Amino acid sequence: MIAGLPSLTARLVAGYRALEDRRNDGVLRDPFAIDALGIVSRAALRSGFATYTPHHRRLQTSVALRHRALDDGMLAEVAAGASRVLILGAGFDARAWRFPDALRDVRVAEVDAPSTSALKAKLSVRWPGRPPERLTTDFAQEDLGDALDRHGWGDAERTCVLWEGVTMYLPASAIKATLGALAPRLAPGSAVWLDGWAPSTAVHAFERQLVRLVGEPIRWSGRPDDLLRLASPHGYDLTVASNSAELGARYAPRRPVHPASWVARLERS
C-alpha cells in the first residue's frame, strides 16, 4: 500500500461490486460499495467505462463470485453455530450492514491497515445498522494475536474468519503467521474462508501490473494445496476449494470468468 493512503485495491474491488450491483442478473447486491469510490471513479462507473474491456468484465465477475461465495460461506457458518465473524483486510466489505438479520446475535469485527480502516469508519457512518468492531494491524509487521487479545478476541470461540482479496498481497511467511496467530483463538470447527490467485496465466500479467502501479504488488500466488502447506502445521484442514470456473458454473453460468481466482475454506481441527 502507498504509505498513509487507504488501499486502492480495496476501492477497486468495491468498484467491481458496485458495477455488479447495477446488473439485473448480478450475483450479489451491495448497495454500499459505491460509497467507497471517489468522484472520478463514480463517473467512470456510471458511464460504463470501467467495463470497457472483456478483461475487466472477467475480473469484475470473479471479484463478485468470490464475494458471493464468501457471503454464502459466512451465512452457513453462522447457521451452523459460529458466534463471531472476523473480517480480515476488510476494505469496504459491507457484510455487517448487508446481513443485519443473520448477524444480529453475532459478534462482528473488521481488521485492516489503519489508513483504510479510518476511511471506512468515516464513510460507513451513514450506513444504517450496527457497525462492526474495528481493529487495526499490519499483517506483514505485527502479530495479529496481540491485536486480537487487546480487543477481547483472544478466547477460542466458534468463529468464521473471512480473508478476502488479501493473501496475494502478503509474503507466504505473513500468511502462515496470520493463520498461526488465529489458530489458538479459534474453537474446533471454526472456519477461515479466503481466496487466492493461482500462479501466472497470461491474463494474470495484467493484474500484476495494475496492482503494482497502485502500490500493492502481488507477493504470493499459489493454489489451494500450497495454502494447505502453510495452514496444516497450525492445525487446519482444507475442506472446500473452488476455482473460478466452478464458482461461475454455480452463480453465473453464462459469464466468462478470470481463470486464476479460487476460494477455499480452512477448518480448525
Binding site for ligand SAM (CB under 6 A): 1, 7, 9-10, 13-14, 89-93, 112-113, 116, 137-140, 164-166, 169-170
CA separation, residue 165 to residues 31, 34, 67, 184, 235 (Å): 19, 18, 9, 24, 23
With vertex at residue 57, the alpha carbon angle to CA 54 and CA 62, rounded to the nearest 5 degrees, is 130
Strand order in the sheet with 261-268: 133-136, 107-112, 84-88, 159-163, 191-197, 261-268, 236-243
Q: How far is the CB of 94 from ligand SAM (least distance, A)?
A: 9
Q: How far is the CB of 139 from ligand SAM (least distance, A)?
A: 4
Which is closer to ligand SAM, CB of 91 or CB of 132?
A: 91
Which is closer to ligand SAM, CB of 89 or CB of 222?
A: 89
Q: How far is the CB of 107 from ligand SAM (least distance, A)?
A: 19
Q: How far is the CB of 188 from ligand SAM (least distance, A)?
A: 26
Q: How far is the CB of 113 from ligand SAM (least distance, A)?
A: 4
Which is closer to ligand SAM, CB of 169 or CB of 197?
A: 169
Closest CB to ligand SAM: residue number: 91
Beta strands in the chain (DSSP E): 84-88, 107-112, 133-136, 159-163, 191-197, 236-243, 261-268
Which is closer to ligand SAM, CB of 14 or CB of 177?
A: 14
* 154 contact partners, CB below 8 Å, separation of at least 6: 145, 148, 185
Q: Concatenate the DSSP letters of all residues of 83-133 into one string.
A: -EEEEET-TT--HHHH-TTTTTTSEEEEEE-HHHHHHHHHHHTTS-SPPPE
Q: How far is the CB of 205 from ligand SAM (least distance, A)?
A: 18
Which is closer to ligand SAM, CB of 90 or CB of 183?
A: 90
Which is closer to ligand SAM, CB of 81 or CB of 213?
A: 213
